[in-house]
Structure 1
Amino acid sequence: MRATLSRARSACVALMLGGTLTGCAVGPDYSGPPRLDMPSHWSARSTSRRQTGTLDRWWLRLRDPMLNRLIEQAVEANPDVAKAKAVVREARATVQQTSAGLFPSVSGSASVTDNKTSSGSASAVVDSAPYTLHQGSFDSSWELDLFGGTQRNIEAAVRGAQSADEDLRDSLVTLIGDVAAYYVEARGYQARIALAQRTSVSQRDTEKLTRSKYEAGSGNAVDLAKATAQAASTEANVPTYQAALAADIHRLGILLGRPPDGVAALMARTAPVPAPRMPLPTGLPADLLQSRPDVASAERKLAQATAKIGAAEADRYPAVSLTGSVGTSALRAGDLAKYSSVSWSVGPSVTVPVFDAGKRQATVRIAEAQRDQAFATFHSTLLTALEDVENALVSLSQERVRATKLTEAAKNYREAAKLSRSLFETGSASFIDVLDAERSLYSAEDSLIQSKVSAAKDYISLAKALGGGWSDPVDVATPIIVDGNTGPHMREALK
C-alpha cells in the first residue's frame, strides 16, 4: 500500500514538472456498481420470454379520461413533486458552485481617504498638511488542482445532480401510482354503494311481499323480522362506504395540491371501475437497474460516494496556489495609472500537510465507509424492487383467477335468487331459501367489485414496481416562489 502511494505521488510530481497536470487524480475511479447476481427471468412468469414494449403513460391502458386528467393536474401541482424539482435546481447549482473551483478568483477594491500625519518629539510636533489619498487594487488567487481534488468534488456534485433527477422521476412514479390507486378505490366504493342501494331496494320488496303474506295469514312473524333485518343490514353498509369514498376523494384532492374537497365535484358522477386489458411489458429483472428511478438514484449516490473518497484523498497531498496583486495609489485620481504609483506582486505558494494526528487519513476512512453504506443501500433498493415486481405479478395473476370464479359465482347466485323468489311467491319455496339466495348474491356481487378494484390496483402496483411513470419533459427551472424587488431598496418593517 505504501509503495503504491509512493508511486502515485511520484507520478503526480512528474506531471507537475512536465506541466501536464490536468490528468492527475487520486482515489478510486468509479466504473459502475459491483456485479450482483440477478435472476434471468421473473419467477412468476410461466415462460422466460421477454415481453417488449414501453411503460410510458401506462395509465392510458386503464382507458379512463377522468383519471388521465387528474394525473396531468397532479404532475403540475403536487407539492412533493415541486419539492423534488427544487432539489434538482439545488443540485445543479451545486455543480456550478463546485466547478468554479477550477478557475481563478479575482477581486478589486478602491478607496479615497483624507489623511493627516504628525511627526517630531514631545517638545516639537510638526503637522503635515491634510491630503487625500486615492488607492485601487486587484487581487487574484488560483489553487491548482494538481491531484484532482476539485475534479473529484465536481464529479461528486454531478452524480448528486443525476441522483436528484432520478429522485424527481421517482416522485412522479409514486405520485401517478397513488393517484391511480385512490381513483380506482373511489370508483370501487361508488360501485359498492350503488350495489348496496340496489340490493336494499330489492330486499325491501321482499320485505313487502313477506309482510303481505304475513297479513294474509300465509306467513309468519319470524320471516318478516328476518326480511326487515336483512334489508337494514345491507343499508347499514352504505354510510361506511360513503365515508371511505370521501376519504379517497379527499386524498386525491391533496395529491393534486388542492384542499381535500378540491376534486369532489369532478368525482360526483359515478363511473365504472377501470379495467385494464393490455398487459404491461415486464422486460427482464436486469432492466430495473435503469427503469426503476429509486434504484438508479441509489446507484448514482454510490458513484457520488466513490468520488468523495478521491476528494478526501487529494486533501492529503500538497496544495499549490498562484496569487497575484496589482495596486496603485496617488494623491490625485489622474495619477493612479502612472507607472510610478503602481505596485504588484505575483508568485506561487505551497501548503504541505506535515502533521495532523491522522485527521486527513480518518477523513478518507469515513468516505470509504460512507461508500460502503451507499452500496448497501443500492443493493437493498434493488432487492426490494425485484420483490415488488414479483409480488405484483403474483397478485395480479391470482386476482384475475379469483375474479373469473367470482363472476361465475355471481351469475349462478343471480339465477338462484331469481328462481327462489319466484318459487316463494307461488308458495313452492321457503322464505329461508329466498333469504339465503339474496344474501349470497349480494355477497358475491360485492366481492366481485372488490376483486375488480384489487386487480386494477395490482396492475397499478406492477406498473410502479417496473418504474413506469411520466415520460414528458418536466420544467424544473421555474422556482415555486418568484421574488420581486430584490435590488437595493428600503427595507420594510419586520413582520
Structure 2
Amino acid sequence: MPICSPSNTGLSNIAAAIALAVTLTSCVVGPDYRTPGLAVPSHWGSKAGTKPAKAPQLSQWWKQLKDPTLDALIEEAIAGNLDVATAKAKIREARATYREQRGALLPTAEGTASATRTRTSAAAGGATDATFSTLYDGGFDASWELDLFGGNKRAAEAAKYGVDAADEELRDTMLTLIGDVASYYVQAREYQALRDLAKRTAVSQRKSAALTHAEYLAGSATAVDTAKADALASSTEADIPAYEISYAQAVHRLGVLLGRPPAALEERLKASAPIPSPKMSVSTGIPADILVSRPDVRLAERQLAQYTAKIGKAEANRYPSISLTGDISSSAASVGDLAKRSSIGWSLGPSLTVPIFQGGQLKAAVDVAKAERDQYFIAYQSAVLSAMEDVENAVVSLTQERLKYGKLVSSSSSYNRASDLSRTLNKAGVTDFLDVLDAERSLYSAEEAVIQSRASIATDYISLNKALGGGWDGDVDVSKPAVVDTDTGPHLTMAK
C-alpha cells in the first residue's frame, strides 16, 4: 500500500530517505479516470423490434455498391488525401509528446568538461619570467525528481490518452473522407445520367419541333404548336449546361479529395456509368454499438480521459516536491591524470520545494483543469446524442427514399404510356398537339425524378454506414513524415 504522506521523520541516513522517497513516488493526486456510463436506448426508433438486432457489417461497406471505380478511388484517397496526411502528423506529434512526458519520470545526467589556462606574472625582485599553468576539470551532474504526488505521471497519462485521441481523429478523418468520396462519386454519376437524359430528350423534342414546323407549312398545325414545340426543346437543352457544371464540380472535388489537382480525374470519369445501387439492407445493431464503432465518439471519450488526467497534474503542483541531485568532479594538471592522480569531489542529497504562497494561482489552475474536463464530458455526451441522431435520420431517409423510388418508377412508366398514347391520338386528330407537348414535358420530369431518387438512395446508404461508424479498417502507416529533412547535423550555413 503506497504511503502518500512522509511520516518517518526520524530517518537519519540518506539511503533510508531515498528508499522512502522511491516508495512515495507511487502516489498520485487528482481523480482516477473511469469511462462514464451513459444511458442509451436499447433499440432504434420509437418501438422495440420483434427480432434481435444484428450487428452492422461495416467492414469495407462501400464494396456492396459493386463499383470497382469507386473502390479504387477510395483506396487512392486514403493514400493521398491531405487531411489524412495531417492526421498522421498529429499522431506522430502525440507519440513524441508521450515519449517526452515519459522521460520526465527518469533521472537526468549530463557530463561537463573544461580546461583553464592561467598566467602568473613574475614577482618584483624575483623571477624574471611569468609562469603558466593549465587545469583540467571533468565530471557529471545528475538529478531526479521523485514525483511524490504523481504530477509527472499524470502528465504522461494525459499524453498517452492524447495518443489514443490522435488515433481516433485519424479514423474519423478517414471515415469522413470515404463518405465524401462515395457521395461525390454518386453525384458525378447522377449528373452524368441527368445530362444524358436531357440530351436524349432534347434530340427527340427537336425532331418533334421539326415535324410540327413541316405540318405548319402544310397547314395541319398552328403557329402556336410550332412555338410551343421549339420552346419545350430549348428548355430541355438549357438543362444540359447546368448538369455539366454540377458534374464538373463533383469531379473536381473528387480530385482534391484524392490529393490531386482538380482536373486530374476528368479523363478517367468522362465515360458515363450507372449510379451505384446498394442491393443489401443495412443492419443497424443497437444504439450502444456506436460507443465503440464511431471514431468521433471514441475521440470525445479519449479527450475526456486526457483532460481528467490533467487535473491530477495541476493538483500535484500544489504539493511539495523532492529532487535528488548529485555531482562528481575531478581536477588535474593533465588530461591523463583525471580520475587517477587528481582531486575528486562529489556531492549527493535531496532538495525540497514547498509551495507556500502564489496568490491562489495553483488552486485556480486546478479549477481551470476541472472546468476543461467538464467541457469535454459534455462534448462526449453531445457526440453520443449526435451519433444517434445521425443513425435515426439516415434510417428514415433510406427507408422512405426506397418507397419514393418505387412510386416514381411507376409514375414514369405511366407517363411513358401517356406520351405514346397522346402521339397516337394526335396523329388520328383526336387530341390537340398541346396534349402531346404536355405529356412529353411530364415524362421528362418523371424520368429526372427517378434518376435523382436513385442517387438519393445511394447517398442515404452512404450516410447510414457513416452514421454507424463504417470507415477504413485496414493498416495505415503513420511513421513516414511528410517532409524528409537532410543534412540536419552540425554544418556551416551561408547567410542569405
TM-score interval, smaller chain? over 0.9
Give ranges in structure 1 of 5+ residues lacking alignment. Answer: 1-7
| Pick aligned residue for 2:325 from 323, 326, 338 | 323
For the residues of structure 2 that align with 1:54 and 1:118, how far apart are their CA atoms?
Answer: 90
**Equivalent residue runs for 1:226-245 within 5 Å:** 226-245=228-247
For the residues of structure 2 that align with 1:126 and 1:173, how far apart are their CA atoms?
Answer: 87
After superposition, the C-alpha distances for 1:390-413 in whole angstroms (9 at most, x for unaligned) are 111111111111101000000111
For the residues of structure 2 that align with 1:45 and 1:130, how far apart are their CA atoms?
Answer: 98
CA displacement at 1:146 relative to structure 2 = 1.4
For the residues of structure 2 that align with 1:303 and 1:42, how far apart are their CA atoms?
Answer: 28
Cα distance change of structure 1 residues 340 and 329 upon mapping to structure 2, 3 Å threshold: closer
Residues 12 and 146 of structure 1 are in contact (CA less than 8 Å); yes or no, is this contact kept in structure 2? Answer: no
Name the counterpart of 1:345: 347
Task: Please tell me whether residue 90 in structure 1 is matched to residue 83 in structure 2.
Answer: no
Q: Which amino acid aligns with 1:188?
A: E
CA displacement at 1:212 relative to structure 2 = 2.1
TM-score (norm 2): 0.94
Residues 2 and 26 of structure 2 are in contact (CA less than 8 Å); yes or no, is this contact kept in structure 1? Answer: no
Question: Aligned residue pairs: how many?
Answer: 485
Task: Please tell me whether residue 12 in structure 1 is matched to residue 5 in structure 2.
Answer: yes
Name the counterpart of 1:296: 298
CA displacement at 1:343 relative to structure 2 = 1.2
Identity across the alignment (%) = 53
For the residues of structure 1 that align with 2:230 and 2:359, how far apart are their CA atoms?
Answer: 87
For the residues of structure 1 that align with 2:284 and 2:59, how far apart are their CA atoms?
Answer: 13
Name the counterpart of 2:105: 102
CA displacement at 1:56 relative to structure 2 = 1.3
Q: Which amino acid aligns with 2:478?
A: V
Task: Please tell me whether residue 54 in structure 1 is matched to residue 57 in structure 2.
Answer: yes
Residues 117 and 127 of structure 1 are in contact (CA less than 8 Å); yes or no, is this contact kept in structure 2? Answer: no
**The 10-residue stretch of structure 1 (411-420 or 45-54) with the greater mean CA deviation from structure 2:** 45-54
CA displacement at 1:186 relative to structure 2 = 0.6
CA displacement at 1:55 relative to structure 2 = 0.4
| Pick aligned residue for 1:478 from 471, 477, 480 | 480
CA displacement at 1:280 relative to structure 2 = 2.3
Cα distance change of structure 1 residues 19 and 244 upon mapping to structure 2, 3 Å threshold: closer
After superposition, the C-alpha distances for 1:423-477 in whole angstroms (9 at most, x for unaligned) are 2223232212111110010000001111111111111111111111000011000
Q: Which amino acid aligns with 2:325?
A: T
Name the counterpart of 2:359: 357
Name the counterpart of 2:28: 25
C-alpha RMSD over aligned residues: 2.1
Cα distance change of structure 1 residues 120 and 386 upon mapping to structure 2, 3 Å threshold: farther
Cα distance change of structure 1 residues 46 and 263 upon mapping to structure 2, 3 Å threshold: farther
Task: Please tell me whether residue 211 in structure 1 is matched to residue 233 in structure 2.
Answer: no
| Pick aligned residue for 1:115 from 114, 118, 142 | 118
Name the counterpart of 1:411: 413
For the residues of structure 1 that align with 2:232 and 2:309, how far apart are their CA atoms?
Answer: 69
Name the counterpart of 1:131: 133
For the residues of structure 1 that align with 2:48 and 2:418, how far apart are their CA atoms?
Answer: 37
- Any idea what SS the aligned residue of 2:284 has? coil
Q: Which amino acid aligns with 1:386?
A: M
**Equivalent residue runs for 1:245-324 within 5 Å:** 245-324=247-326
Q: Which amino acid aligns with 1:421?
A: R
**The 10-residue stretch of structure 1 (76-85 or 379-388) with the greater mean CA deviation from structure 2:** 379-388
CA displacement at 1:14 relative to structure 2 = 5.1
Q: Which amino acid aligns with 1:202?
A: S
**The 10-residue stretch of structure 1 (149-158 or 20-29) with the greater mean CA deviation from structure 2:** 20-29
Cα distance change of structure 1 residues 493 and 340 upon mapping to structure 2, 3 Å threshold: closer
For the residues of structure 2 that align with 1:147 and 1:389, how far apart are their CA atoms?
Answer: 45
After superposition, the C-alpha distances for 1:186-217 in whole angstroms (9 at most, x for unaligned) are 10000000000111111112112212221211
Name the counterpart of 1:75: 78
- Any idea what SS the aligned residue of 1:264 has? helix
Cα distance change of structure 1 residues 453 and 46 upon mapping to structure 2, 3 Å threshold: farther
- Any idea what SS the aligned residue of 1:47 has? coil
Name the counterpart of 2:394: 392
Q: Which amino acid aligns with 2:322?
A: V
After superposition, the C-alpha distances for 1:118-168 in whole angstroms (9 at most, x for unaligned) are 5989x9999861112211110110000211111111110000110010000
Q: Which amino acid aligns with 1:99?
A: R
For the residues of structure 2 that align with 1:336 and 1:17, how far apart are their CA atoms?
Answer: 35
For the residues of structure 1 that align with 2:448 and 2:481, how far apart are their CA atoms?
Answer: 47
Residues 104 and 140 of structure 1 are in contact (CA less than 8 Å); yes or no, is this contact kept in structure 2? Answer: yes
**Equivalent residue runs for 1:34-45 within 5 Å:** 35-43=37-45
For the residues of structure 1 that align with 2:341 and 2:311, how far apart are their CA atoms?
Answer: 49
Cα distance change of structure 1 residues 375 and 334 upon mapping to structure 2, 3 Å threshold: same
Cα distance change of structure 1 residues 118 and 103 upon mapping to structure 2, 3 Å threshold: farther
CA displacement at 1:235 relative to structure 2 = 0.4
